[in-house]
């Protein structure tokens, strides 16, 4: 077992179950809003962002010194669970970018900034996994959008309009709590 977390908030990590869920009209995680602003910062559809990574990254970019267009260009490779591999959730990896922009080091010798960034990312991963049960797109959606069959299933079940929307809103709220 590996420990991680922010100082004073040590948690114990267990790998999420690797079982695949069958999506239904109900999402397999709680959909109650997280505490935070009454109007979510990241919206869905992502207003031209094209991916959940882009929706999260573009929502925070202006406050962190990065214009929206640059954030969307940075986001492009991460769409579809990283280049449509249905791997890490784009909302989560977009949040990593936001945390790095806010707290990441800009000098190799700045170990404190590195450690703070890593602690925040690990805390985000823990909260995301606790809420959603999985970290990977294929597990969150219950289908592999890296395959034509998985893409058809996601479209038929409108997963981008339901599951992805929920993931974007919840992840943006978690980032706001951590920043």
Residue 36 confidence (pLDDT): 46
Q: What percent of the chain has pLDDT over 70?
A: 72
Q: How would you label 97-118 residue by residue, b for 16+ Cβ within 10 Å and e otherwise?
A: bbbebbbbeeeeeeeeeeebbe
Residue 122 confidence (pLDDT): 97
Closest alpha carbon to 128 in 161, 72, 173, 82: 173
pLDDT surpassing 80 at residue 13: no
**61-75: per-residue pLDDT in tens?**
888 888 888 888 888
Q: How many CB atoms lie within 10 A of CB 51?
A: 26
Identify whether the C-beta of residue 118 lies closer than 8 Å to the C-beta of residue 5.
Answer: no
Residue 73 in tokens: 């260009």
pLDDT surpassing 90 at residue 156: yes
**Phi, psi values for residue 159, rounded to 5°:** -65, -30
CA dist 113 and 108 (Å) reads 10
pLDDT surpassing 90 at residue 2: no
Rounded to the nearest integer, the mean pLDDT of the chain is 78
- Whole-structure pTM value: 0.73
pLDDT surpassing 50 at residue 46: yes
State the residue for tokens 């990241």.
Answer: 42
**Alpha-helix runs per DSSP H in 26-147:** 52-60, 68-75, 90-103, 111-132, 137-141
Residue 47 confidence (pLDDT): 55
Cα dist from 85 to 27, 82, 172, whole Å: 22, 6, 22
The residue-averaged pLDDT of 111-130 equals: 97
| Banded model confidence at residue 48, pLDDT cuts 50, 70, 90 | low
Residue 41 confidence (pLDDT): 56
Residue 8 confidence (pLDDT): 44
29-127-123 Cα angle (round to 5): 165
CA dihedral 144, 149, 153, 154 (to 10 degrees): 50
**58-109: per-residue pLDDT in tens?**
788 888 888 888 888 888 888 888 988 999 999 999 999 999 999 999 999 9
Closest alpha carbon to 34 in 81, 95, 116, 79: 95
């Amino acid at each position: 077992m590996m420990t991680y977390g922010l100082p004073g908030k040590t948690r114990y990590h267990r790998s999420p179950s690797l079982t695949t869920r069958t999506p239904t009209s109900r999402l397999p995680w709680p959909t109650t809003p997280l505490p935070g602003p009454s109007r979510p910062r990241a919206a869905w559809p992502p207003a031209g962002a094209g991916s959940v990574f882009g929706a999260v990254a573009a929502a925070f970019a202006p406050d962190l010194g990065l214009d929206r267009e640059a954030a969307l260009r940075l986001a492009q490779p991460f769409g579809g669970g990283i280049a449509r591999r249905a791997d890490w959730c784009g909302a989560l990896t977009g949040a990593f970018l936001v945390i790095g922009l806010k707290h990441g080091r800009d000098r190799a010798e700045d170990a404190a900034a590195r450690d703070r960034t890593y602690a925040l990312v690990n805390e985000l991963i823990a909260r995301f996994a606790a809420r959603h049960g999985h970290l990977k797109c294929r597990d969150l959606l219950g289908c592999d959008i890296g395959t034509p069959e998985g893409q058809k299933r996601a479209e038929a079940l409108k997963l981008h309009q339901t599951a992805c929307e929920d993931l974007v809103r919840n992840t943006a709220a978690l980032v706001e709590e951590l920043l």
